[in-house]
Amino acid sequence: MAWNAFKLCTALRALGYIMVLVVLVIVGLTYYAVVLANYLPAIFGGGLSAVIAFPLLILFHFLLVMLLWSYFNVVLNDPGVVPPNWRPANDEEGGDGAPLVGSDQSTLVSDPANQKVRFCRKCNHFKPPRCHHCSVCGRCILKMDHHCVWVVNCVGALNYKYFLLFLFYTFLETTLVTLSLFKYFMAFFTEEEVIGTLGTVAASFITFVLNFAFALSVFGFMIMHLSLVASNTTTIEVMAFVIL
C-alpha cells in the first residue's frame, strides 16, 4: 500500500492549532510567574523592590501586547495568494521579455519551448515569480518563505513583516523575563530563602527555563531572517540553492 503524503500535511495543519494553544499557555504561565507571583506583590510591598518592579511591569506589558499583536497578525493575515485568472504577459522569470507561446492554457503548459512559464497543476493556474505551492495550506503563496506550524499559516509576501516583528518582540520579551526571574532561579542553587508557595516557586523556575530557551532559539532565527531580508531571498530559495 502506497504512503499518502497528504495525510502528513493534514497532520501538520492540525498540529498548528495545537501550537497556537501552546503559545497561549506559555504566555499565561509567564504572566502568572512574572506579574502575579513576583513583581505585583513587590509593588504592594513598597521599598526599593517597588521602584524596580513598577517600570519593569510597564515594559513587560508593552512588549507582551506588541508580541501578541504581531503574532495574531501572522496567524490571521493572508500570506498572499495568486489573483484570480492571473496570467503573465511575458516570460517574467526568463528575464528576456519573451512573449508567451500561444494564447490558451494548454499551449502554454505543453509547449517544450516555454518551460520557464510556471504553472501549478494542483491549483490549476499560473504562478508568478517567487510563488510556491504549499501542500499544507493547499494553495500557492506569493513570495512564500516557509510554512510555520507555530502560526498555523504560511509566511509570505503579505504577513512577512508581522513575522519579523513577532520574532523581534518575542526575543525582547523572553530576554526581559529571563533577566527578571534570574534571581528566583538562582535561589534554588544557593542558601538564599525561596519566598512563595510551592506553586509560585515551580512556576518561576519553569518560566525561566522556557523563556531562556526561547530567547536563544528566537535570537538565532531572527538573525537568519534579517540576513535573508538583507539579501532579498527567502528560506525556500536558500534551501533550493543549497540542494542544487
State pLDDT tens for residues 40-63: 988 887 777 788 889 999 999 999
Question: Exposed, middle or buried: residue 19 (CB in 10 Å: 0-12, 13-18, 19+)?
Answer: middle
Residue 116 lies in a domain: no
- In the predicted structure, residue 113 carries a pLDDT above the cut 60: no
d(CA 202, CA 198): 6
pLDDT at 168: 97
Residue 70 lies in a domain: yes
For residues 190-199, average pLDDT: 70
Kindly name the residue from 131, 137, 148, 154 that is annotated as catalytic: 148
d(CA 121, CA 106): 11
Residue 238 lies in a domain: yes
Residue 7 lies in a domain: no
Q: Which residue has the higher pLDDT, 167 or 109?
A: 167
Q: Lowest-confidence range among 99-108, 145-154, 169-178?
A: 99-108
Residue 97 lies in a domain: no
Residue 115 lies in a domain: no
Residue type, 199: G
Question: Which DSSP symbol is given to 126?
Answer: E
What's the mean per-residue pLDDT of the chain? 82
Residue 68 lies in a domain: yes
Residue 10 lies in a domain: no
pLDDT at 213: 96
Say if CB 114 and CB 108 are below 8 A apart: yes
Residue ranges making up the domain that contains 216: 15-81+149-243
The domain total for the chain is 1
- In the predicted structure, residue 99 carries a pLDDT above the cut 80: no
Label the pairing between strands 146-148 and 153-155: antiparallel
pLDDT at 129: 87
End-to-end alpha-carbon separation of the chain, Å? 32
pTM over 0.75: yes
Task: Reply yes or no on whether 148 is catalytic.
Answer: yes
Say if CB 38 and CB 200 are below 8 A apart: yes
Q: Lowest-confidence range among 47-51, 140-144, 194-198?
A: 194-198
d(CA 181, CA 58): 16
Q: Which residue has the higher pLDDT, 94 or 137?
A: 137
The CA–CA distances, whole Å, from 62 to 37, 58, 68, 75, 172 equal 19, 6, 10, 20, 11
